[in-house]
Amino acid sequence: MLKNNQKAKKRSERMIKLFNAFKEKELKDFPVPPFTKWANGRIIRVQYGLMELEFEVRPEMANPTNLLHGGMQCAFMDDVIGIITTTLGYEGFPISIDFHVDYLGKVKVGENVRVIGKIIREGRNIIHAIAEIYDGQGNLISMGNSNLLKTHFVPDYIKKADSLSKNK
């Protein structure tokens, strides 16, 4: 068990170091999933179980009233929570088994939002996480929480990171 904990710690440290190298840069230029590339956030802050990203609200992210679409808000929060789970060092990829969102404000196209996600609890099989979206003035726009199931599915980024560390 200790050996697995050491592997998880190394994976966690490697992912945090990688994300810190991406800080303040557009994610579209990095090896991330297609939605993350398309959303094109910028990492503001990352540490174990915590991440903050900033996104520009573009016209294709809007509802018919030119405000950030609720589905996009949910997607931003889900994406940030997914990225945060990589800092935990698990070999398998946790998948969302539920997601609850409260919509509390609005943001117009052309404005930026900050999405802050945090892991609240790591159980034996379930991880509980929260995320919040703030506008440029620091007003809370929406908040969500999710439970994620730990799996044995090893995503490509872990396979690549593990193979790179073996070659060193």
* pLDDT tens-digit series, residues 72-110: 999 999 999 999 999 999 988 899 999 999 999 999 999
Q: Over 50: is that where the pLDDT of 2 sits?
A: no
Stated pTM of the model: 0.89
Residue range 111-121, pLDDT digits in tens: 999 999 999 99
Confidence of residue 168 (pLDDT cuts 50, 70, 90): low
140-145: average pLDDT: 98
Segment 125-134 long-range contacts (CB within 8 Å, at least 24 positions apart): 125/149, 125/150, 126/97, 126/150, 127/85, 127/88, 127/94, 129/81, 129/84, 129/85, 131/76, 131/77, 131/78, 131/80, 131/81, 132/77, 133/73, 133/76, 133/77, 133/107
| Average pLDDT score, the chain | 90
